[in-house]
Amino acid sequence: MSDGIGLAEQLLGLDGFKVLGVTEGEHELVIAVETTASVTGCWSCGVLAECQDRVRVDIRDLACFGRPARLVWSKRRRRCREVECPVKTWTERSVHVPPRALLTCRAGIEACRQVGELARPVSGVADELGVCWWTVMHAVERHGRPLVDDPARVGPVVALGVDETSFLKANREHPTIYATGLVDLDGKKVIDVVEGNAAKDLRRSCAGTDEKWLKAVKVVATDLAESYRAGLSSHLDHAVRVADPFHVVRVANRCLDTVRRRVQNELLGHRGRKDDPLYRIRKLLVSGAERLDERGSSRMLLGLRLGDPDDAVLGAWLAKESVREVYLTDDPAVAAVLLDKVIVGCLADEVPEIRSLGNTLKAWRPEILNHHRTGASNGPTEGLNLCVKKVKRAGHGFVSFEHYRLRVLLHADGVTWPSRPKPPRIRTSSPHSNA
């Protein structure tokens, strides 16, 4: 039935298969195939097997010359002729089609690449291939999991960043569900995403990690979350803990915001409205002092004059600015002096929120100063957040954390995708050639 010169097989490009016929369907190309192995022995005893009957299997392959392609594999069911043999019948297999799969390996890998590397929605890829959502997701799992589990994806890590990211937004059934991202701060690579943000979640993840790999970690940067500090304990006690500068300043900004809202409420008896003096300067307050121009500064001072009779907001603003000043120096000794001044000042303040800021800073003093000793910060985890955002947008909400994790890690750098042929360019187009 084949064309006899192997032209059709060459086009198909699946060795071990013979093309029986090609028909043009309404929206697809239908290619009838069978394997070339017409004679074979029993896989158990080796006695020559006979073909009992055939099973028709429909498989989706990569599109062919712009048309979706369907392989119709007329699969032989074989029977062992040996009466004593425990094996009765079996159907043929091929390395190009995983057992029970609806996609050929090459189509499955491409679907995985589209969903993982390019962060495309599963439904879009499924539509294109003419299969259901689950078929594509199974292909992503089948071909993507080995790539994610590959030990070469994450080599030894010296500086580890731990950052919180949200997994599911709050709804009627549950509050916001968080996840914890682990990032290689030097390589700027996402290492893993762990479900939850509690100490036990991090501890569970550490417990499942290679002891030697953990020992190689020298620095860990986190935000000021007690749960992370506790969660890293015992497994990563040998590493230098760093409180991420961005998060330290954010704690001071939050303190300022809380004081502003309270004072506003006490003075006016309602939450901030657009004409309230403090509400109007809320953004000026949290921007860095050096970023305010003259007009900004006078607007801020006017707002404080009108809305802050006891100078509580001003006090919180000064505290925030002095926290930021700790990062103006690279010298650990100078930073220690500055930080101690902030802590003493905050603890002596009349405003309870500022005293509480002082307590937080005091509790994290070694970690805050370790930034100056190591230079580590969670800046590179920005890559994690971008990655998470893209995957979330493609996913339109996730049900399974495992799927979410797999897609985030496939989209992150570090995955070694199977190589694809890079076609040579046919002609360098010159802007003048078609004039």
Question: Measured from the CB of residue 34, what is the shortest distance to Zn ion in angstroms?
Answer: 22
| CA–CA gap between residue 152 and residue 317 (Å, rounded) | 47
Nearest of 164, 331, 167, 177 to residue 250 by alpha carbon: 164
The whole-angstrom separation of Cα 296 and Cα 2 is: 80
The answer to whether the CB of 190 falls within 8 A of the CB of 206 is no
CB of 17 vs Zn ion, minimal distance in Å: 25
Task: Tell me how far, at minimum, the Cβ of 46 lies from Zn ion, in Å.
Answer: 7
**Of 12, 42, 102, 182, which lies in the binding site for Zn ion, with binding defined by CB under 5 A?**
42
Q: According to the binding rule CB under 5 A, does residue 40 interact with Zn ion? A: no
Site stretch for Zn ion (CB under 5 A), options 43-51, 170-178, 182-190, 257-265: 43-51
Cβ nearer to Zn ion, comparing 37 with 348: 37
Pick the piece of the chain touching Zn ion (CB under 5 A) from 86-94, 171-179, 230-238, 365-373.
86-94
Of the pair 28, 82, the CB lying nearest Zn ion is at: 82
* Of 48 and 328, CB closest to Zn ion: 48
- Residue 87 interacts with Zn ion (CB under 5 A)? yes
- Beta-strand ranges (E) seen in 158-268 are 159-168, 177-184, 189-195, 219-222, 240-243
Which helix or strand (DSSP H or E) is residue 345 part of?
A: helix 332-347
Q: How far apart are CA 425 and CA 421, in angstroms?
A: 12
What is the size of the binding site for Zn ion (CB under 5 A)? 7
Binding status of residue 79 toward Zn ion by CB under 5 A: no
Question: Minimum distance from CB of 48 to Zn ion (Å)?
Answer: 9
CB distance 362 to 343 below 8 Å: yes
Under the binding rule (CB under 5 A), the answer on residue 136 touching Zn ion is: no
Least distance between Zn ion and beta carbon 124 (Å):
46
State the nearest-atom distance from the C-beta of 53 to Zn ion, in Å. Answer: 18
Contact between 49 and 41 under an 8 Å Cβ cutoff? The reply is yes
- For the CB of residue 43, give the shortest distance to Zn ion in the complex, in Å: 8
Q: Which residues have CB under 8 Å from 428's CB, separation 6+?
A: none
Q: Please give the C-alpha separations between residue 22 and each of 35, 59, 66, 96, in angstroms, as whole numbers.
A: 16, 14, 15, 19
82 binds Zn ion (CB under 5 A): yes
Among 32, 45, 57, 64, which residue interacts with Zn ion (rule: CB under 5 A)? Answer: 45
> Which stretch in 72-80, 97-105, 138-146, 229-237 sits in contact with Zn ion by CB under 5 A?
72-80
What is the C-alpha separation between 407 and 63, in angstroms, rounded?
A: 24
Q: Which stretch binds Zn ion (CB under 5 A): 83-91, 125-133, 180-188, 401-409?
A: 83-91
Q: Looking at 30, 85, 214, 289, which residue binds Zn ion (CB under 5 A)?
A: 85
Helices (H), 174-225: 199-207, 211-216
Task: Give the integer Cα–Cα distance in Å for 344 and 245.
Answer: 20
Q: Which of 80, 157, 335, 342 binds Zn ion (CB under 5 A)?
A: 80
Q: Which of 129, 123, 92, 75 is nearest to 107 (CA)?
A: 129
The nearest distance, CB 91 to Zn ion, in angstroms, is: 15
Stretch that binds Zn ion, among 7-15, 42-50, 149-157, 169-177 (CB under 5 A): 42-50
Quick one: tokens of 314?
Answer: 């001003």
Tell me whether residue 50 or residue 413 sits nearer to Zn ion (CB atom): 50
Our CB check for Zn ion shows the closer of 47 and 394 to be 47
Residue 410 contacts residue 148 (beta carbons within 8 Å):
yes
Q: Which is nearer to Zn ion, 70 or 78 (CB)?
A: 78
Of 19, 15, 16, give the one whose Cα is nearest residue 7.
19
Listed in sequence order, the DSSP H helices in 377-424 are: 382-395, 401-411
CA distances to 111, 193, 413 from 402, in Å: 18, 10, 18
Q: Which of 10, 23, 36, 44 binds Zn ion (CB under 5 A)?
A: 44
Applying CB under 5 A, the residues found at the interface with Zn ion are 42, 44-45, 80, 82, 85, 87
